[in-house]
Amino acid sequence: MTYTSRQQLADHVRIVEVGARDGLQNEKKSISLENKLELIRRLSSTGLTHIEAGSFVPAKWVPQMASTSEILTDLIQKPPAETQPIAYNYLVPNIRGLENLVKIFQQHKHTNPPLQSDYPTPPPSPTPEEAAGQGPITSTSNPNEMSSTPSPSTTSNTTEISLFAAATESFSQRNTNCSIAESLSRSIPIIDLARRHSIRVRGYVSVALGCPYEGPDVDPHKVAELTCQLLEMGCDEVSVADTTGMGTMPRTRKLMQTLKDAGVLMEDVALHFHDTYGQALVNTVVGLEAGVRVFDSSVGGLGGCPYSKGATGNVSSEDIIHLLHSLGCETGVDLVKIAEVGEWITGVVGKANEGRAGKATLSRLREGTE
Ligand SMILES: CC(C)(COP(=O)([O-])OP(=O)([O-])OC[C@H]1O[C@@H](n2cnc3c(N)ncnc32)[C@H](O)[C@@H]1OP(=O)([O-])[O-])[C@@H](O)C(=O)NCCC(=O)NCCSC(=O)C[C@@](C)(O)CC(=O)[O-]
């Protein structure tokens, strides 16, 4: 650790909630459209500003994402009325995926607001006592009532997309049926079409710290090269992903240094950790120390990639938010509210709730010790 005081980390950190996409895509049990929409609505009421909502992929590749068109349609027709603007993000593996998204925009005569120079500003964070996890945290509601009383809408929501490349040839072939070079050339028309519709583009670099087919020793220079290429091609941000959760503190530190040496600005980078080996929070601190201020996480720790066998879910949103607040960082997300969402959705999916900070917070609240 190089940080000696909380003040040094007292920045805003943007959380990109991936539970409704990465969290659910690998679930064998079919989750109903109603429950997916309910999840997105509940997440929208926690203070989150960035939520992955689905994937425009062929159903034969990822059956769980087959209802993505209906999700986008619903969010266009009945946008959650929150006080903060929310960017809903959809994965697109190829131009066909984005064309399908744009068709829905056109069917509903919907447009994104013009692109602004920066991401929307989040609402104020919890008080310092709440942020430190020490003060009185007031429960907002019964989780079953959370989405029924939205606050008045003062802002407009946006649609964003994510495209993806991988740092190893084997993963690229399994995940997208093409080479790394082909995945980059596929990205060019996607970025071009997205720009024409004022749609922000995120790039993912998968298997940055370990590959299910090639092992943990993924070349950090390859990750840095791909990150630079995606940014140069026009991605607004690149999420560097530890798909397998094999990342360790020393290798994450080396990766961050390699990215910096390659000239990548930390403000253009997000980090996406899976927690297979329980290293996600440690690696998050490494990323924070390197200057990254955007982290992906999944409510309840749900998740996994269909092409990364054995990898568990993403770092839980509840745990990363608790960590960040304890360091004095602002996220704008209400830990109690998101803990309630984690409790609810893991029950729906029938999985263990991996959001330990969320479970502890709710349990203390219910015992009357918070
Ligand atoms: C890229 C492809 C499509 C290539 O798959 P392919 O089979 O080579 O595609 P194709 O172009 O040959 O088309 C095959 C069929 O799919 C149709 N098709 C083609 N495209 C689409 C589309 N977009 N939507 C709907 N249908 C589509 C196309 O029309 C055709 O239909 P048919 O003639 O057989 O009836 C496939 O490999 C694919 O979908 N891969 C994505 C797999 C995936 O979603 N993986 C998980 C997400 S990535 C991830 O989780 C990692 C991440 C992001 O979380 C970060 C991390 O942790 O690493």
Indicate the residue type of 205.
V
**Mean pLDDT, the chain, as a whole number?**
88
Q: How far, CA to CA in Å, does 71 sit from each of 57, 60, 285, 326, 361?
A: 14, 18, 34, 34, 31
Query: Residue 271: is it exposed, middle or buried by C-beta count within 10 angstroms (0-12/13-18/19+)?
Result: buried
Q: Is 163 in contact with 203 (CB distance < 8 Å)? A: yes
Contact 270 CB / ligand 1 (< 6 Å): no
Q: Is the CB of 82 under 6 A from ligand 1?
A: no
Residue nearest to atom 35 of ligand 1 (CA): 58
Range 1-12 average pLDDT: 53
Residues 279-311 pLDDT 10s: 999 999 999 999 999 999 999 999 877 777 777
Q: Which of 61, 99, 294, when mutated, tests ligand 1's pocket best, judged by the most ligand atoms within 8 Å of its CB?
A: 61
pLDDT, position 156: 83
The CB of 305 under 6 Å from ligand 1? The reply is yes
In 3D space, the residue among 348, 315, 306 whose CA is nearest the CA of residue 26 turns out to be 306
pLDDT greater than 80 at residue 345: yes
Closest atom of ligand 1 to 18 CA is 54
Q: Is 89 in the pocket of ligand 1 (CB under 6 A)?
A: no
| Options 178, 211, 235, 305, the catalytic residue | 305
Model confidence pLDDT, tens digit, residues 128-186: 444 444 433 333 333 333 333 333 333 489 999 999 999 999 999 999 999 999 999 99
* pLDDT tens by residue, 263-285: 999 999 999 999 999 999 999 99
Question: Averaged over 249-262, what is the pLDDT?
Answer: 98
Confidence label for 11 from pLDDT (cuts 50, 70 and 90): confident
Q: Provide ipTM, 2 decimals.
A: 0.97
Query: Which pLDDT belongs to residue 369?
Result: 72
